[in-house]
């Protein structure tokens, strides 16, 4: 059931791109879009929210994406409290718009900090206040994140000439 939920969310968030059969590690999945445009390592929680890292070999960039039902204004940044067993930090989310599925796409502006948290923590919570003026709390299990991200990055490195970027570059709107 969880696999179906994650795949349906991936398909909805990615919209027009088809997804090749993903591999699973714990609660995380990794794979490549059939189009070859991007690779992903992603998880979904029980509420249908999505957290993942996406790499775009042709743009030599990777981003972290949070997909939720919490509305946002495209182009606007929102502070988010990130809490994990490692501690807490404040980051910024950049709203990338609403998808046909109804979910809203948020990109993390500090790739290194969210990557460090996702790969070192075991659980993660985000608390943020989007346009509806109601706090949103989104929880994720990180079991399997390291394996899924490592597998995705290994594939991405081949397309990025052996270099995974250490800073985020915003890709075009293919996601």
Distance in angstroms (rounded) separating the CA atoms of residues 63 and 70: 19
Distance in angstroms (rounded) separating the CA atoms of residues 108 and 137: 16
Mean pLDDT, rounded, for 160-172: 49
- Whether this prediction's pTM lies above 0.85 is answered by no
Beta bridge partners of 44: 50
Q: What DSSP string runs through 53-72?
A: EEEEGGGTEEEEEEEES---
pLDDT in tens, 28-68: 999 998 777 899 999 999 999 999 999 988 888 899 999 99
Distance in angstroms (rounded) separating the CA atoms of residues 81 and 126: 6
Task: Reply yes or no on domain 2-159 having CATH 3.30.360.10.
Answer: no
Interior angle at CA 132, CA 129 and CA 134, nearest 5: 50
* Helices and strands (H, E) in the chain, number of each type: 3, 10
In contact, 103 and 141? CB cutoff 8 Å: no
pLDDT score, position 142: 96
pLDDT in tens, 106-143: 999 999 999 999 999 999 999 998 776 788 899 999 99
pLDDT score, position 37: 85
Domain extents for the chain? 2-159
- Name residue, tokens 């979910």: 103
pLDDT score, position 129: 84
* Residue 140, H or E segment: strand 136-141
């Amino acid at each position: 059931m969880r696999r179906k939920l994650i795949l349906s969310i991936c398909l909805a968030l990615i919209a027009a791109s088809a997804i090749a059969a993903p591999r699973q590690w714990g609660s995380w999945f990794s794979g490549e879009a059939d189009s070859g445009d991007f690779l992903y390592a992603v998880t979904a929680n029980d509420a249908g929210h999505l957290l993942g890292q996406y790499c775009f070999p042709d743009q030599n960039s990777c981003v972290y994406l949070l997909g939720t039902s919490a509305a946002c204004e495209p182009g606007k940044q929102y502070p988010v409290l990130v809490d994990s067993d490692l501690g807490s930090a404040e980051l910024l989310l950049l709203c990338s718009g609403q998808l046909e599925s109804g979910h809203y796409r948020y990109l993390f502006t500090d790739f290194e900090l969210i990557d460090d948290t996702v790969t070192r923590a075991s659980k993660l919570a985000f608390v943020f206040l989007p346009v509806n003026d109601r706090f949103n709390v989104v929880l994720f299990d990180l079991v399997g994140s390291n394996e899924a991200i490592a597998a995705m990055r290994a594939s991405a490195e081949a397309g990025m000439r052996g270099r995974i970027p250490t800073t985020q570059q915003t890709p075009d709107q293919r996601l």
